[in-house]
A and B are shown apart, each in its own frame.
Chain A
Amino acid sequence: MRNVFLFIRRHFNFLFFLVLQIIALSFLFRYNKFHEAAFMNVSTEITGRINEKYNGIEYYFQLKKTNESLVRENLRLRQQLKDNYEAPDSARRLFYDTLRFDSGMAMRKYNIMEAKVVGNTTALQSNYLTIHRGFAQGVRPNMGVTGPQGIVGSVINVSENFATVMSMLHRHFTVIAKLKNGSETGPVEWDGLSPLFVTLRSIPRSAKVAKGDTVLTSQTSYTFPANLMVGTVYEIVPDNSSNFYTLKIRPSTNFFNIEYVYVIDNMQFEEQKRIEDSTRKKVQ
């Protein structure tokens, strides 16, 4: 016993170093596994406040770009207004509309909330955004996040007034996407190499794909509504060992000057997940 104490006293510095190193590594690997740690709650709140202060200044320098991107989005939405389309009347009989007023609420699947981005990194291997909208304002983990031009990421961690969003530029981020021409689906991931590109894998060689083709979110994604913009095909890399293409995608979101995002709440997610889980149990 005495020798043990002597050993500890003699090598105290080295043991102390080892302990701290092990604590750091356990943070690193446990966090990556579960994407969540209790102490992150407090730190998100504190770093969120500091980020917000900084963003208050930076925001003015980005105003012009932010405004441009919002105007472009408005234009796109205005183009889709019902009043822009008119077909000649073809009804032969008179119908009465018997639907209740605002009957759409019961069928509503996605609820969209706006949020201000107060923190953002692009230079690391695991990039996160911090948004100024948290649990109290209706954000929950695993919600999808999209920007004016295209999808951005998904919510990982939520504190009272802030939330951290795993950006598309994170090695654990995956979203099911499809090609606009032909609807072949595959996962979009980031290989960690360049923040300008992500990859879309598992596209069969039979797919007709060309440079510049549009990539949209698939309807099989839990977190995103179908047909949201992901990006455009930049390069087609044939994988000779298999029957699949790997596509290099240029994300339509500019991650360097992102100021506003929309948080998407899938209101039917619980029900869909419940039936899928119970199916799995039945088959087993």
Chain B
Amino acid sequence: MSELLKNTIRFILFILVQVFILFKMPPLHRFITPYLYYLFILWLPFNLSRTGLTLVGFIFGLTLDYFSKYPGLHAAACTLIAYVRPFVIGLLISQEGADKNYISPSIVSMGWAPYATYVIVLTLLHHTWLVILEWMDIGSVVYLIGKVAASTAISLLLILLTELLFYRKQKFRTNTI
């Protein structure tokens, strides 16, 4: 399956799962909003240009916004993590040329610890920006920190489950460019 087709299907599935499953769940606590959809951005291939990545992030976030009737909120957060993603990968990638030899970031291509750090950093960034934008006219510092921490914990749990359930095969590509 080509990468474009695969990512298009992922785009649709992540939006549907977020809108029709995670947003429909009865809330556990006021601090917790379960977010999983931005995993799409984390799974995008390495070879996408930075401009392309930012644009895809923006469109992806805006699509979710139209379902939640709040244009701009998720788009802003997704644009941010899509822009920051290459820097984080550049810092964390340990093997020389892993971003050439593998298609997209995963446990196999980056290794356990770097991949976990990558996910945690972008999750925190996404949630913080989202809560700050929501927070503009409400709440306190306790609310801000509590919501970011609790939502991050839930999101990480969801991402862990997704990674375990949907194992992504990653072929090692040598000199095939």
Inter-subunit contact A125/B83 (CB<8 Å): no
Cβ-based interface call for A28 (8 A): yes
Q: How far is the CB of A283 from chain B (nearest CB, A)?
A: 31
Distance between Cα atoms of A280 and B72 in the complex (Å):
37
Which residue of chain A lies nearest to B70 when distances are taken between CB atoms in the complex? A126
Residue pair A28, B72 in contact (C-beta under 8 Å):
yes
With A16-B51, A121-B23, A256-B26 already in contact, the answer to whether A25 and B134 are too (CB < 8 A) is no
**A125 adjacent to B138 (CB under 8 Å):** yes
A164 to B65, CA, bound (A): 14
Residues in A neighbouring B39, C-beta threshold 8 A = none
Q: Is the CB of B138 within 8 A of A27?
A: no
Report whether B134 and A21 are in contact in the complex, using a CB–CB cutoff of 8 Å.
Answer: no
Query: How many CB-defined contacts (below 8 Å) exist between A and B?
Result: 102
For residue A39, which residues in chain B have a CB less than 8 angstroms away from its CB? 71
**Are B133 and A28 interface neighbours, CB within 8 A?**
yes
A191 on the B face (CB < 8 A): yes
Cβ B55 vs Cβ A20 within 8 A? yes
Restricting to B25-50, which residues have a CB under 8 Å from any CB of A?
25-27, 30, 33-34, 50
- Decide if B112 is an interface residue (CB 8 Å cutoff): no
| Interface residue? A194 (CB, 8 A) | yes
Q: How far is the CA of A24 from the CA of B76 in the complex (A)?
A: 5
* Known interface pairs A13-B50, A13-B54, A125-B134; A193-B71 also in contact (CB < 8 Å): no
Taking the closest CB of chain B, its distance from the CB of A279, in whole angstroms, is: 31
Q: Does B70 lie within 8 Å of A24, measured CB to CB?
A: no
Binary per-residue interface labels of chain A (181-206) against chain B in the complex, 1 for a CB within 8 Å, 0 otherwise: 00000000001111100000000000
Q: Say whether, besides A12-B51, A16-B51, A24 and B138 are in contact (CB < 8 Å).
A: no
Provide the residues of chain A in CB contact with B51, threshold 8 Å.
12-13, 16
Contact B68 A124 (CB under 8 A): yes
Chain A interface residue count, CB cutoff 8 Å, equals 43
Q: Closest residue to A196 on the B side, CB-wise?
A: B27
Q: Size range of the interface on B? A: 35 or more
Inter-subunit contact B69/A27 (CB<8 Å): no
CB under 8 Å from chain B, chain A span 91-133: 119-126, 128, 130
A43 at the interface (CB under 8 A from B): yes
A25 touches B72 (CB 8 A): yes
A17-B79 contact given A27-B72, A47-B67, A54-B20, CB 8 Å threshold = yes
B75 at the interface (CB under 8 A from A): yes
Beta-carbon contact of B138 and A171 below 8 Å: yes
On whether the beta carbons of B79 and A122 are closer than 8 Å, the reply is: no
Task: List which A226-261 residues lie within 8 A (CB) of chain B.
Answer: 256
1/0 contact string of A8-20 vs chain B (CB within 8 Å): 0000111011001
Contact A121:B27 (CB < 8 A) given known A24-B76, A25-B76, A28-B73: no
Q: Are B69 and A21 in contact (CB under 8 A)?
A: no
Bitwise interface map of B from 139 to 168 toward A, beta carbon under 8 Å scored 1, else 0: 100000000000000000000000000000
Considering the chains assembled together, what is the distance between the CA atoms of A37 and B72 in angstroms? Answer: 12
Complex alpha-carbon distance, A164 and B68, angstroms: 11
Residues in B with CB closer than 8 Å to A23 are 58, 72, 75
Is the beta-carbon distance between B76 and A193 smaller than 8 angstroms? Answer: no
Q: Is the CB of B71 within 8 A of A194?
A: no
Assess whether B54 is in contact with A193, with CB atoms less than 8 Å apart: no
Q: Digitize B102-132: 1 where CB-to-A-CB distance is under 8 Å, 0 elsewhere.
A: 0000000000000000000000000000000
| B11 CB → nearest A CB, Å | 14
Flag whether A135 is at the interface (Cβ < 8 A). no
Q: Which 5 A-B pairs have the closest CB atoms?
A: A28-B72, A27-B72, A24-B76, A128-B69, A24-B75
